[in-house]
Structure 1
């Protein structure tokens, strides 16, 4: 089966809450669905995301795709493309003009698994069908009452692990948030914090020791310092035996490999590019380094999580995107289940396409807000 056609559908809508961390603030969704269609009519689905700025109009997205991407796809076998290895030489390997990279990997793997008649996690070699999910607030810009309401709701849904954002210029505010969380969620819950590179190495060590001395037990601290500061990360890893350092989120596949080989992290954070995640996951398995799945669009990462033996956790952040697909991933009592349908199991909703497609760029004050999914309503 070879790739014969494609469709691109542009979406733009307001988020149901402001999300972000110590570095960024986001209040809108800018995304386009990429559907690769095989000769037999089967569809591979991926999503082109722009976190901070609107994607261009749909016609321009199509123009860039036609020029930069489509010539390398049409008539090709998706299963051959997902396994293709390219060695960068000069300028022959570079980023596309729009962020198609992750969407392509996801869509091609979706189509490949359908071609094989298997759920994606089975094609990737899974021995299990579910993995633990932790509730992540992306909560830096929420007020204290909103913060408590969010995590109280997540606790009521059965989550047993929770990650909050830290890195405020006033460290007492970080400590206050930890105390609010402890009062809000069940006793014995696992707690993680994410500083999004807000600290320096020595500063992080001092603050993590203070957190520990105040009685807060952390499962991990995520991205405490700059991504390329391998020496600082090694120092921090040695200086804080009471918790684990979770890093690598902002590095590409080559950077993640160097980070692990430098012995500069306790855990490796990966996201949604399926081929890259599997290659890094295989190396992590050889080195005995745990892997965590950060946010992936509509939780597609559950397939990689089930296939990689080092993964114990997948991040879920209540981003209210479920209306885009017919049947989203199922999460029950803090466990996310990998679908048994062929491919990754997500099918673009035709109702959402009719209601939420936005071919032209809209100003922020004209963005509508989708209804909140009743299963995850805050």
Structure 2
């Protein structure tokens, strides 16, 4: 039975990453995460994660203060199953972001709690039609050395991946071509290859470089975010001028921006992430329009639930990040597939060992973080 929300708990984590991640625009070597637990009157818990990718979250007490002031008044005494379906009128001052990145964490925690109270895995509540989805190996590899780059993708190939995405957009284009050559040396022949420029190119530049990549003998399944997210005309031009690959966009857009992208016919594929309600809404629209959807990086692969529930999703991104120690049992990734958990809710439970050993209530300097917790791949520098 669905019970009202009674309390919340926030646990702040800060730890070193096991490798530098990033792209041609950004880099990060530490993780700043806070677990958000929403507790109902029955004692059921919905879990989400507040994540700051490129900045430090404040002290736990300050996160709690801001959450209590900005988010909790709209949650207390409400039932999760009602909140996940609620649509607000986008008017005036009610269109404003939280002071901290609570949006995704709230959607994930509320859906987790709603599914638990229904006694169902989240993907079943969302209408799943399968139990697994193909996963591709994504390196977040722009700042890695050539040796570390090859080690990462060689290991991914060794454990069963047959699709690989690398970061491009280097000021010296020869380096992008060089990385594609290095990738080809360590993955099986016939593998599917994607590139992600993170908006590093202009429209005409992107076309010239995509064509040069093809002339160099590299077939691409898709090109992700080659140019600015709002350049609908440029994205349409790329779609028609490079019919041998697909233009994947939408990562940096909110729900409204994704809708406008679809309506402008400006992408062959729509890229979505971890906001469960938003992803389902735009995923249904994409299905109606016949546009494929890809699940980009989602924290601890929570996106597998949406991926197996939406009809247009073929791929889920997996980036070998060292977050697994935060939960009792991560999503299973095996032989190039991600498997949706059959446990109630999204199936992720905050690890009591992580709460005991890795909680960091106060902000630490980078040199105070110590050794990185073990990740899926430990051979990278």
Q: Report the counterpart of residue 295 of structure 2 in structure 1.
A: 293
Q: Report the counterpart of residue 101 of structure 1 in structure 2.
A: 103
Q: How does 1:78-89 map onto structure 2 within 5 Å?
A: 78-89=80-91
Q: Report the counterpart of residue 36 of structure 1 in structure 2.
A: 38
Q: How does 1:129-148 map onto structure 2 within 5 Å?
A: 129-148=131-150
Whether the aligned pair in 1 keeps the contact of 2:23 and 2:168 (CA below 8 Å) is: yes
Whether the aligned pair in 2 keeps the contact of 1:46 and 1:106 (CA below 8 Å) is: yes
SS in 2 for 1:35: strand
Q: Report the counterpart of residue 248 of structure 1 in structure 2.
A: 250
SS in 1 for 2:311: coil
Q: Report the counterpart of residue 369 of structure 1 in structure 2.
A: 371
Whether the aligned pair in 1 keeps the contact of 2:17 and 2:373 (CA below 8 Å) is: no
User: For structure 2, which runs of at least 5 residues remain unmatched after alignment?
Assistant: none
SS in 2 for 1:305: helix
Please, which of 202, 205, 221 is the counterpart of residue 203 of structure 1?
Answer: 205
* Cα deviation 1:73-115 (Å, max 9, x = unaligned): 1110101000001111110231011110000000000000001
Q: How does 1:137-216 map onto structure 2 within 5 Å?
A: 137-216=139-218
Q: TM-score, normalised by structure 1?
A: 0.99
Q: Report the counterpart of residue 233 of structure 1 in structure 2.
A: 235
Return the offset for 1:328: 0.3
Please, which of 4, 7, 10 is the counterpart of residue 5 of structure 1?
Answer: 7
Return the offset for 1:368: 2.3
1:27 paired to 2:54: no
Q: Report the counterpart of residue 354 of structure 1 in structure 2.
A: 356
Q: How does 1:301-312 map onto structure 2 within 5 Å?
A: 301-312=303-314
Whether the aligned pair in 2 keeps the contact of 1:124 and 1:304 (CA below 8 Å) is: yes
Whether the aligned pair in 1 keeps the contact of 2:16 and 2:373 (CA below 8 Å) is: no
Return the offset for 1:376: 4.3
CA distance in 2, matches of 1:22, 1:145: 19
* Cα deviation 1:127-176 (Å, max 9, x = unaligned): 10100000000000001000000000011110110000000000000000
Aligned CA RMSD, in angstroms, stands at 0.8
User: For structure 1, which runs of at least 5 residues remain unmatched after alignment?
Assistant: none
CA distance in 2, matches of 1:25, 1:376: 19
Whether the aligned pair in 2 keeps the contact of 1:2 and 1:74 (CA below 8 Å) is: yes
CA distance in 2, matches of 1:332, 1:11: 27
1:338 paired to 2:301: no
Q: Report the counterpart of residue 270 of structure 1 in structure 2.
A: 272
* Cα deviation 1:255-284 (Å, max 9, x = unaligned): 000001000000000000000000000000
Q: How does 1:43-122 map onto structure 2 within 5 Å?
A: 43-122=45-124
SS in 1 for 2:155: helix
SS in 2 for 1:91: helix
Whether the aligned pair in 2 keeps the contact of 1:212 and 1:242 (CA below 8 Å) is: no
